[in-house]
Amino acid sequence: MVNLGKRNVLGMMVNAFDYEAAVSAIMQSAKNKQTLLVAAQPVHGVVHGLLHSDYRQRLNQFELVCPDGMPVKWALNLLHKCGLKDRVCGPDLTLKVCEAAAGQGIGVFIYGSKPEVVAGLMQNLQSRFPALQIAGHISPPFRPLPDEEQEVYLQQIAQSGAGVLLVGMGCPRQEDWAFKYRSRLPMAVLCVGAAFDFHAGTVKRAPTWMQQNGLEWLFRLSQEPGRLFKRYAVYNSLFALALLGQWTGVWRVRRG
């Protein structure tokens, strides 16, 4: 198990750890019914925090911020000599947490995405982990929710008895939601975004060799060029430039 604590990557405090350490912390929270906010942050999330200080401040109050993308893992190794061998990406962390939850009899609640995506996700998870207890699921409408409607959902989640809550609403919406309602969620809350689509089978994942070489963004761009071109062209470039500035000491960003 590797757990070196948090390190500053462009102002965002990212955990320098491995899957074993992440799953261990999540399972401990789930068993004790203690709030634990977990965000898997790729380049897009880190740069969003760089550009939006309010988001960065919220993420820096999460208990676990995982180095989701290979470039984020490389940044930890470059800036802080962490020697990490692998990233901790949301889709794979989701499977490892579900496997551990199934083995320990801990319920999992699913919140977010479209009903058809959640249906496929549940079917595939239970096929892979037959002992997994899915305590409930909600696909909220994609619009601002009035307080009374959100209250119904929060009560449903809290009363389900789940120890793990998987949240898939996309970055930064899912992290903002988790942070806002953290006091109402006595469980491990995993903001895992694309994991829902990947494990539901509605979006294809990049080949392993592309993931391991930091080229997953290129595969996703080839699948959705219209939606993702601006994000990757701008955010990847900003990440590289800002990382160079932090590494050389020419530029530094505050955590707060």
Please check whether residue 227 lies inside any domain of the structure: no
Q: Please give the pLDDT value at position 85.
A: 96
Q: Please give the pLDDT value at position 203.
A: 83
Q: What CATH number is associated with residue 126? A: 3.40.50
Please check whether residue 50 lies inside any domain of the structure: yes
Please check whether residue 189 lies inside any domain of the structure: yes
- Cα of 142 vs its chain's centroid, Å: 19
Q: Please give the pLDDT value at position 255.
A: 63
Cα–Cα separations (whole angstroms), residue 136 to 71, 111, 120, 121: 35, 9, 14, 13
Please check whether residue 224 lies inside any domain of the structure: no
What is the 3-state secondary structure of the chain? CCEEEEEEECCEEEEEECHHHHHHHHHHHHHHCCCEEEEEECHHHHHHHHHCHHHHHHHCCCCEEEECCHHHHHHHHHHHCCCCCCCCCHHHHHHHHHHHHHHHCCEEEEEECCHHHHHHHHHHHHHHCCCCEEEEEECCCCCCCCHHHHHHHHHHHHHCCCCEEEEECCCCHHHHHHHHCHHHCCCEEEECCCHHHHHHCCCCCCCHHHHHCCCHHHHHHHHCHHHHHHHHHHHHHHHHHHHHHHHHCCCCCCCC
- The letter for the amino acid at 52 is H
For the chain, the domain total comes to: 1
Please check whether residue 66 lies inside any domain of the structure: yes
Please check whether residue 249 lies inside any domain of the structure: no
Which has the closest alpha carbon to 176: 58, 63, 91? 58
Please check whether residue 57 lies inside any domain of the structure: yes
Q: Please give the pLDDT value at position 227.
A: 80
Please check whether residue 26 lies inside any domain of the structure: yes
Q: Please give the pLDDT value at position 204.
A: 83
Domain coverage including residue 58: 3-200
Going residue by residue through the chain, which has 256 residues, state the pLDDT in tens, using 9 for 90 and above.
Answer: 999 999 999 999 999 999 999 999 999 999 999 999 999 999 999 999 999 999 999 999 999 999 999 999 999 999 999 999 999 999 999 999 999 999 999 999 999 999 999 999 999 999 999 999 999 999 998 888 888 999 999 999 999 999 999 999 988 999 999 999 999 999 999 999 889 999 998 888 878 888 888 788 777 878 778 787 777 888 999 999 999 999 998 877 766 5
